[in-house]
Amino acid sequence: MFINILITLTLVLAPTQIQADINNNEPYYQIGEPSRDGIGKFYMGREISHVMGHLGAGWLERPKREREEGTDLLLQNLSLKATDYVVDLGAGTGYFSFPMALQLTAGRVLAVDIAPEMLKLIEQRKSADGVENIDVILASERSPNIPDASVDVVLLVDAYHEFSYPREVMAGVVKGLKQGGRVILVEYRGEDSSVPIKRLHKMTQLQAKKEMSAVGLKWLRTDDYLPQQHVMIFTKI
């Protein structure tokens, strides 16, 4: 059974842990006064948001999500090849993993999450539905644990802005991508005040480009066919 449980990729760090991390030669981050929705840890001028708690499960799996966010349009426009190996980074219960697996008749989905409970649910659904081309990978806060140069596409949907260690995770993504591989970053449009999402749970194109460039990803284009989100395409060069 597809159980409505929150998709969780990262954990919120306590201020003392943040300070300890920065003191331990992690120069990419700064600390400051946390805002209501942030953890007080900043990366390239952006405060990292709190991770949505378990009370957000209904939001993520709400029946009207497809209509509000156009998730069906996203799946139709990923331009996946049947032979692709695709990472669903922050896979949770497999909201995107399972429909992508149907498109990959000779490829595989790597469902990556930091929570072993989420991966167990995916394994249970795989068995129940007879899906054989999804593999689960347990990530850490600092690494997606993707095998080097092994994947064609990495999909991140409304997850990146919550990563406690965005630079380290994305460096791991770059290592895992094949040359010419794509990162598909989906985030609520930070430039659009009419998008009814908290500020720290949105990203502007400018900020996303800056952060992806820092790990060696090149921006290709931004598609705005979704009602509220940017679909930003980057490649490994």
Q: What percent of the chain has pLDDT over 70?
A: 85
pLDDT over 60 (residue 53): no
Render pLDDT for 78-106 as a digit per residue (tens, 0 to 9).
Answer: 999 999 999 999 888 899 999 999 999 99
Dump pLDDT digits (tens) for 109-150: 999 988 888 899 899 999 999 999 999 999 999 999 999 999
Flag the least confident range among 42-46, 119-123, 140-144, 156-160: 119-123
The pLDDT, as a whole number, for residue 59 is 63
Of the ranges 61-75, 131-145, 154-168, which one carries the lowest mean pLDDT score?
A: 61-75
- Percent of the chain with pLDDT strictly greater than 90: 73
- pLDDT on residue 102: 97
Q: Is the pLDDT of residue 6 over 60?
A: no
Which of residues 16 and 111 earns the better pLDDT score? 111
87 and 151 in contact (C-beta within 8 Å)? yes
- Per the DSSP assignment, residues forming a β-bridge with 219 are 234
**Tokens 């092994």 sit on residue:** 150
- What is the per-residue pLDDT for 60? 62
What integer pLDDT is reported at residue 231 of this predicted model?
98
Rounded-to-integer distance, Cα 53 and Cα 11, Å = 10
Q: What distance in Å separates the CA atoms of residue 74 and residue 5, rounded to the nearest whole number?
A: 22
SS3 at position 16 = helix
The pLDDT assigned to 222 comes to: 98
pLDDT at 5: 32
Instruction: Return all residues near 154 (Cβ < 8 A) that are at least 6 apart.
Output: 86, 87, 89, 146, 173, 176, 177, 181, 182, 183, 184
CA-CA distance, 137 to 116, in Å (whole number)? 9
Picking from 50, 66, 70, the residue whose alpha carbon sits closest to that of residue 8 is: 50
Q: How confident is the model at residue 237 (pLDDT cuts 50, 70, 90)?
A: confident
DSSP states along 117-141? HHHHHHHHHHHHHT--SEEEEE--S
Positions of E strands within the chain: 29-31, 38-43, 46-49, 85-89, 108-113, 134-138, 151-157, 177-189, 202-203, 217-223, 229-236
Asked whether the beta carbons of 212 and 185 are under 8 A apart, the reply is yes
- pLDDT (tens digit, 9 = 90+) per residue, 29-41? 999 999 999 999 9
3-state secondary structure of 212: helix
Q: Report the helix count and the strand count for the chain, using DSSP H and E.
A: 8, 11
Q: How far is CA 195 from the centre of its chain?
A: 19
pLDDT at 61: 64
